[in-house]
Amino acid sequence: MSYYFTILSPTDTPLFNIAFGTSKGGGDGIARFRFPETAQYMNQFIIHSSLDILEEAQWTNGGMYLKHIDTYPPAAAYITAFLTPSGARFLLLHQPPNLPSSTGTGSGLGSSSLLGTAGSTTRASSSSIAANPTSPQTEEAVRQFMNEVYENYVKTAMSPFYKQGMEIKSPVFRTRVTAAGRKWL
Partner 1 sequence: MAGPPRHATMQSISNGSTLQSGDRPQAQPSQQQLSQQSPGLRVPSNRKTIYDRHLNRSRNTELSRASFAFLFGEMVTYAQRRVTGIQDLEKRLNEQGYPLGLRLLDLLFYRSTSTSSSALSSSSTSSSPPNRPLRIITLLHLIHGPLWRLLFGRAADALEHSVSPDTPNEYMITDNDPMVNTYISAPRDMSMLNCAAYVAGIIEGVCDGCGFETKVSAHNQPTELWPSRTVFLVRFGDSVMEREKVLERAGIK
- Name the residues that contact partner 1, by CB under 8 A: 10, 18, 20, 58-60, 62-65, 83-87, 140, 143-144, 147, 150-159, 163-164, 169-176, 178
Min dist. Cβ of residue 13 to partner 1 (A): 15
What value does the CA radius of gyration of the chain take, rounded to a whole number of Å? 16
Torsion of CA 5, 44, 167, 140, to 10 degrees: -20
**Quick one: 103 or 183, whose CB is closer to partner 1?**
183
**Quick one: 48 or 143, whose CB is closer to partner 1?**
143
How many Cβ atoms sit within 10 Å of the Cβ of residue 161?
7
Min dist. Cβ of residue 109 to partner 1 (A): 27
**Quick one: 111 or 144, whose CB is closer to partner 1?**
144
**Quick one: 72 or 150, whose CB is closer to partner 1?**
150
Per DSSP bridges, beta strands 65-72 and 14-21 are: unpaired
- Beta-carbon contacts of 50 under 8 Å, excluding residues fewer than 6 positions away, are 69, 70, 72, 79, 81, 91
Q: How far apart are CA 131 and CA 164, in angstroms?
A: 36
Min dist. Cβ of residue 158 to partner 1 (A): 6
Min dist. Cβ of residue 27 to partner 1 (A): 14
